[in-house]
Chain A
């Protein structure tokens, strides 16, 4: 099977923001990309910046673009509508969240290697933690019969569960929505009930490590979408490496989706 990677044009371009929607603690930015490829693969990401006023925020930042998996891509007559899920937690995400319709979203992408299709006969379980739900949204649309397990900090964050179709199972740290549990505990229960599954996960490192360990114990194949600070997104800066069984790999060109068995641990 060829690797799930759609090539990006070799330059930054500007998409036009068409919508900014607040969903609890998160924000969904949708932008019309008139010149990029219309078929990004779930798990691929874009480097984002605002066209205007990128800089001059807290501590005179942001300066570098920020990497975001796309959440959804809808083909339109003259391009593609890309949406991104984000939480305003620092100077870059705060500036992105302040975008308004008709403003420019500068982007490079799609970048990296996305999720591979499940092996025949394996039931896909999608496991998301917090903002890590984003790449699972477009993945769910491509797969049949998925089980979706989501973990969030609070009720405000858990509102993002409504973006999924069907009825995702939700866990929250404070028990305000769904079970008071870790999403990895939901996964353990699913695998106990039916181990013939394949796991797709994205979320914070501690969650991914718990998922990796669970799947390794039970011999369940898993693909993890990892995150790391990135300057460029296309292999130039060598900043986003993660340790793997093959040494350091750049997440931007060799990931961000990696087979869990290539990792000894998720840091």
Chain B
């Protein structure tokens, strides 16, 4: 059992927001998905106030040991989410975390209030990797902007608020500390790193959105450092993620200070990755204390 912000989870393995669509997966896998659900809590794809169709394709590019995505947060908008997706997500066998993003603090507050009052929702995650249209600043890149956003929404719900940190910040630990000071109950990191690929024929950006976010094992070492830096700067729980593809790597994030971990890109390769990694993590935890040879693997 893992306790995260007062919510009991059967284990410490979540999914990263936007890396698993439980409703679509149920269409592909049927009820077997619910019987063998891969995660200990489910984090929804980010919802915004208005519906979004997302970026024009192409949306993907494979990199060495990873990928770049430029999806553009397609979603049904708050109203569509509450009416059609939330009841279905509420029937999942694990607690539900809903990810929200606003293009202003007022928008964010409206989302938090509307989502927070629904019984299906155990926690909320604030995706602050977006520009504030009032200031032009990426909320999560700046400690003061992040603090203002969290302060504004804090009073809108009594449920735990997780702030999803962006690695595209000068000092993620300072942003985490600002979120904690403004009332966040946990932080999660890392979101994707900004990246780009060029069309080999034309030399123009390959992705319809021009730039995208890099994920997968390619970013794991960077993510681990940021998780360690953030965990030593805050008292609140840290949910660590970034290229985790097996239990040993999940154990590294926990050793670096994470209370829970999240699986993202690895689920694209195997829909059951979360379940497999949880089992491997359990085996690693049991073997801690077993003497091993300390050396750089060659």
Contacts and interface: CB of A to CB of B under 8 A. Distances in A.
Interface stretch (A5-13, A146-154, A210-218): A5-13
A235 B27 contact: yes
Contacts, number: 129
B114 to A, nearest CB: 23
Contact of A229 (B38, B58, B66): B58
Given A236-B20, A239-B60, A231 B27 contact: no
A237 interface: yes
Interface string B1-43: 0000000000000000011110111011110110010100000
B24 A235 contact: yes
B270 interface: yes
A63 B216 CA distance: 9
A63 B66 contact: yes
Contacts of B60: 229-231, 237, 239-240
B262 to A, nearest CB: 14
Contact of A63 (B24, B27, B67): B67
B36 A60 contact: no
Nearest to A267: B57
A242 interface: yes
A232 B271 contact: yes
B268 A236 contact: yes
Interface in A106-162: 108, 111-112
A71 to B, nearest CB: 21
B29 A238 contact: no
Nearest to A10: B29
Contact of B57 (A8, A12, A63, A228): A228
Contact of A237 (B36, B53, B71): B71
Interface in B53-80: 53-54, 56-60, 62-67, 69, 71, 74
Given A55-B65, A60-B65, A235-B21, A10 B271 contact: yes
Interface residues of A, number: 41
A192 interface: no
B272 interface: yes
Nearest to B24: A235
A248 interface: yes
Nearest to B271: A10
A232 B267 contact: yes
A241 interface: yes
A51 to B, nearest CB: 12
Given A12-B271, A232-B268, A63 B62 contact: yes
Contacts of B276: 11
A238 B28 CA distance: 14
Contacts of B294: none
B266 to A, nearest CB: 10
A239 B57 CA distance: 8
A65 interface: yes
Contacts of B23: 235
Contact of B271 (A108, A238, A243): A108
A242 B29 CA distance: 22
Contacts of A10: 25, 28-29, 32-33, 36, 38, 271-272
Nearest to B32: A10
B101 to A, nearest CB: 15
B272 A253 contact: no
A248 B19 contact: no
A49 interface: yes
A243 B57 CA distance: 9
A59 interface: yes
Interface in B144-168: none
B271 A234 contact: yes
A108 B32 CA distance: 14
Contacts of B59: 229, 238-241
B269 A65 contact: yes
A62 interface: yes
Interface in A224-267: 228-243, 247-248, 250, 252-253, 267
Given A8-B29, A229-B60, A240-B60, 5 more contacts: A63-B64, A234-B29, A241-B59, A248-B57, A253-B28
Interface of B: 18-21, 23-25, 27-30, 32-33, 36, 38, 53-54, 56-60, 62-67, 69, 71, 74, 216-217, 265, 267-272, 275-276
17 contacts: A8-B28, A9-B29, A10-B25, A55-B65, A60-B65, A64-B62, A64-B269, A229-B58, A231-B67, A232-B271, A239-B59, A240-B59, A241-B59, A248-B53, A248-B54, A248-B74, A253-B24
Interface of A: 5, 7-12, 49, 55, 59-65, 108, 111-112, 228-243, 247-248, 250, 252-253, 267
